[in-house]
Structure 1
Amino acid sequence: MQELIDVLRHQARHFAPELAQLAYKRGLAVTQSDGTTRPIPITATPVILDAAEIRRRAELSAHLASATVKMARAWLAAPDAELLLGSLSPLERALAERTWPQAVRLATTRVDYFVSGGKPWALEVNATIPAMQGYSDIAARTFIEVVARHFRYPEKALPSLLTLNGSNALALYRALLDGYAAERPGQFPDTVALLCRRNDAQISELRWLCERFREFGADADIVHPDEVSGDTTFEVRGKKYDLVYRHLFVRRLEQQPSPWVEDFLATVPGKKAVFLNPPASQVEVKSTFARLSQALAEPELAEAAGLTPVELEAIRASVPWTRLFRAGPTTGPDGTKLDDVVAEVARNPARFVLKRAWDYGGKAVFLGRSAGTVPYVERVTAAYGEPLGWPELCARAASDPTGGGFVVQEIVDSPPEDHLLVEPHGTVLPTSFFVDYSAYASVGLSKQPAWGGVCRGSMAEIVNIVGGGGVLPLITTEVASKLLLAWKAI
């Protein structure tokens, strides 16, 4: 759809101010601890994919997420479970130990990819708070509406155009309903609570989700840990909730303890209310993801986890070589035997990336090929208090137990793309963006809802929304074709 992209580049300055203002108004923003908000930039140039490819990536993510849940469960049942549990904070560990045998159903997960040569390569699985369903919908919906009106698309046809593009908020809602029905056969949740901390960084996204849930027919509210009580029910100000959607990092509870909520999170799928996205740190830890890759070379790992042939093929097709990063032998990316993985990585910085096994926001991610650059030096100094060259960093990381140590992953080359970034006041800025693709999936449901994806862009290779960057609208080829046709009809 290069023709549409060319038109958008020519017309962007006309519709960009409305695009930025409306996206921000709807909730495409990061909320600071004091309650103020910072807009998340949106691009005037979308990512365009065939609907079939979006479905294929969602299906791939479903297999990878299922495999990762199985691998975490197998590891926690194994004699070396301490290697995984030792990655977690005290409360995360306590919850994992109490809930992992019952945590077989996850309403929503997210697999993050880099796309290289048209092929998606999975970098990690998100299972604690796999957010951005709201952000993705805000970006796509706002882009479609603003561009369609600028192109004089028939107003009465806009709802069908939006429906054609899909909705992650709707997929999330259906996943929650399906999970509820599995736990309470024949029943429907009359009330839904979206549980988060006050002034959560993504509170505007949660407000968007809450509004959509209400549109879908739920009596939904945003609630906070200090408001919740109830001896036998999940209750806020006298109102009882049947279903709880958690958007609350366990580590936030360690900073501001809430014994009632901690006890609630420790029962899966919940007694006081149905609870379908329990803390799943053991699933998201990158060491678990590394074991998926390792299972291709060590069939006993795959057998212990009960991985299916379909899941193994998904791993083979999309997971780059990933290993725990500690001295010792392993199978290398090309299948040959390595005497020492640390020495191999130290010798070949351009080929590898180091990632702390359990951390948020990409703070402890180090690209070997960026060694010596300002971002590399800043990250290393923040982590270790001094600048370190690549061999020295490898030695330090290999012996660092914090967060379960590090994993090493073969680099995925995803060249930057040219996009038009819309700044908050509406100025259009040509930008070279590294773009990732994230696809949602459910685990343990009888069927997958119609999940889509979300695309983020950053001028740095380590892409993170809260730390900077923007959201790129993801639209289908069919929607793009209709917009282009409207432009040609003017």
Structure 2
Amino acid sequence: MQEFMDVLRRQAHYFGPELAKLAYERGLAVTKPDGSTLPIPITATPVILDAEEIKRRAQLSAKLASATLKMARAVLAGEDPGRLLGALSPLERTLAERTWEQSRTLATTRVDYFVSAGRPWALEVNATIPAMQGYSDIAARSFIEVVARHLRYPEKGLAALHTLNGNNALALYRALLDGYAAERDGQLPDTVALLCRKNDAQVTELRWLCERFREFGADADVVHPEDVSGEDSFTVRGKKYDLVYRHLFVRRLEQSPAPWVEDFLGTVPGKKAVFLNPPASQVEVKTTFALLSQALTEPALADSAGLTPDELEAVRAAVPWTRPFRHGPGTGPDGATVDDVVARVSEEPARFVLKRAWDYGGKAVFLGRSVGTVPYEERVKGAYGESLTWAQLCARAATDTQGGGFVVQEVVDTQPEDHLLCGQNSVLPTSFFVDYSAYASVGLSKQPAWGGVCRGSMSEIVNIVGGGGVLPLITTEVAAKLLLAWKAL
């Protein structure tokens, strides 16, 4: 679709500001603690993929997410559950211990990838708050509408373009309904609560999802922990809710305790209401992901988790070499036995990345090939209070137990891409590292029609709240129709 991208680059200064304005109005924004908002930048240059490829990546993610849940369960049922539980905060650990045996359904997960030479490589699995379903839809829908109108595409055809492009909010809604029906003998919920903090950083996304749920027919509301009560039901201001969608980090409850909600989250899939995205911190801890990679060379580990041949093949095809970062022998990324994993990683910084096993926002992620750069120095000093060489960092990280210690991963070679970043008064060229995230469900009778979301950042450590933007994800079929409209002008 290079021809279409060329058209967009030539025309972006005409439609880009309107695209940024519309996306921001719809909720593509970060909310600050005082309630004010900052727009999340959007690009005029989308990621374009065949619908079948988007589907294939969602199916791959379903296998990886299922395997990760199985591995977490195997560890917690084994002789050393502390290797996962030890990474968690006190409340996270309490809830994990109370719920892990019953947590077999994850209505929504997200697998984050870097794509290298057309091949997606999974970097991690998100299971605590696998967000951005709303952000992704806002970006794609806003792009389609603004570009279509600029190209004078028939207004009556916009709904068909949106349908052709997919809908993550609808996939999430169907996942929640399917999960609810499985728990309540085929019934559907009358009321749905979207639970988040007041002025949550992503509350505009939650409001977008709530509006979509209402369009789909649900009596849905955004609610907050301090407002919830009820002796035998999940009740907010006298209104009872049948189904709860949780968008709430457990650690936020430790900062602002809400005993009722803490107790509610300790029962899966819930008695006072059904909730299908439990705070599965043990699944998202990067040690769990590292053990998936390790299972490829240790059949006993794969067997203990009950990994299927399809799940193992998904790990083999998409997970880069990843290991718990600790001293001792192991199998290196080339398949050869190494005497000491830490020493091996220390010798070749350009090949590896260190990640704290349990952390948010990429604050403790260290790229060996970035040694000597300002971002590397800032991160190292932020973590350890002083400048460290790669060898010194490896020595410190190997014995650091905070957040469950570190994992090491073979770096995925990705290069920055040229994009056009839209503001409400400008369109500027920028160079972005771009990731691809695909959604999936675990434990449902069937997968909804999940899609994905793409983020861009000037840093290789991509994070929206910490800076960066969203790239509209557009199917080849939609792009082709828009290109025809341009040619018809």
Structure 1 Cα separation of the partners of residues 58 and 187 of structure 2: 28
1:31 aligns to 2:31 (yes or no): yes
CA distance in 2, matches of 1:261, 1:12: 46
Counterparts of 2:105 and 2:46, CA distance in 1: 33
Q: Match of 2:370?
A: 370
Q: Which residue of 1 aligns with 2:464?
A: 465
Equivalent-residue separation in structure 2 for 1:411 and 1:109 (angstroms): 23
Q: Secondary structure at the match of 1:179?
A: helix
1:76-124 deviations in Å (ceiling 9; x for gaps) = 0010111111000000000000000000000000000000000000000
1:426 maps to 2:412 = no
1:376-387 pair list within 5 angstroms: 376-387=376-387
2: distance between equivalents of 1:328 and 1:186?
A: 51
CA positional deviation for 1:186: 2.5
Residue 83 of structure 1 is matched in structure 2 by 83
Q: Is the 8 A contact 1:113 1:124 kept in 2?
A: yes
Q: Counterpart of 1:285 in structure 2: which amino acid?
A: V
Residue 122 (str. 1) matches residue 122 (str. 2): yes
Alignment match, 2:2: 2
1:285 counterpart residue number: 285
Q: Aligned equivalents of 1:284 and 1:329: distance in 2? A: 25
Count residues with an aligned counterpart.
Answer: 489
2:136 counterpart of 1:140: no
Name the amino acid aligned to 1:420.
L
Q: Is the 8 A contact 1:21 1:426 kept in 2?
A: no
Cα distance in 1 for partners of 2:470, 2:78 equals: 40
Aligned residue in 2 for 1:253: 253
Q: In the TM superposition, what are the counterparts of 1:103-252 in structure 2 within 5 Å?
A: 103-252=103-252
Deviation at 1:414, TM superposition (A): 1.0
Instruction: Please report how far the alpha carbon of residue 185 of structure 1 lies from its aligned counterpart in structure 2 after TM superposition.
Output: 1.4
Q: Do structure 1's residue 312 and structure 2's residue 292 form an aligned pair?
A: no
Report the AA paired with residue 370 of structure 1: S
Provide the residue aligned with 2:485 in structure 1.
486
User: 2:144 & 2:425 partners in 1: Cα distance?
Assistant: 17
SS of the residue corresponding to residue 316 of structure 1 reads helix
Q: Which sections of structure 2, spanning at least 5 residues, go unmatched?
A: none
CA distance in 2 between counterparts of 1:140 and 1:277 reads 25
> What secondary structure, in the 3-state scheme, does the structure 1 residue paired with 2:296 have?
helix
In the aligned structure 1, how far is the partner of 2:101 from the partner of 2:186? Answer: 25
8 Å contact 1:4–1:480 — kept in the other structure?
Answer: yes
The ranges of structure 1 where at least 4 consecutive aligned residues each deviate by more than 6 angstroms after the TM superposition are none
Aligned to 2:12: 12
Matched, 1:98 2:102: no
SS in structure 2 at match of 1:67: helix
CA displacement at 1:298 relative to structure 2: 0.4
Post-superposition Cα deviations, 1:149-189, rounded to whole Å, max 9, x if no partner, equal 00000001110111110000000000000000100112110
Match of 1:453 in 2: 452
Show the 5 A alignment for 1:279-428: 279-423=279-423, 425-428=424-427
Q: Deviations over 1:27-59 (max 9, x none)?
A: 000000110100000000000000000000000
Describe the SS at the equivalent of 1:212.
helix
Distance in 1, matches of 2:54 and 2:186, equals 32
Deviation, structure 1 residue 426 = 3.2
SS in 2 for 1:342: helix
Residue 17 (structure 1) shift: 1.1
CA distance in 2, matches of 1:312, 1:373: 37
Q: How many Å separate the matches in 2 of 1:186 and 1:465?
A: 38
For 1:115 and 1:55, how far apart are their aligned partners in 2?
Answer: 16
d(CA) in 2 for partners of 1:60, 1:265: 29
Task: Find the residue that maps to 1:297 and give its secondary structure.
Answer: coil
The code of the aligned residue for 1:58 comes to A
Q: Normalized against structure 2, the TM-score is what?
A: 1.00
Contact 1:68 1:289 (C-alpha < 8 Å) held by counterparts: yes
TM-score by length of 1: 0.99
Opposite residue 24 of structure 1, the aligned amino acid is: Y
Structure 2: which amino acid aligns with 1:120? P
Could you tell me the percent identity over the aligned residues? Answer: 81
Instruction: Write the letter of the residue equivalent to 2:22.
Output: L
Tell me which amino acid in the other structure corresponds to 2:477: E
Alpha-carbon distance in structure 2 between the residues aligned to 1:426 and 1:9: 16
8 Å contact from structure 1 (residues 245, 276) kept in 2: yes
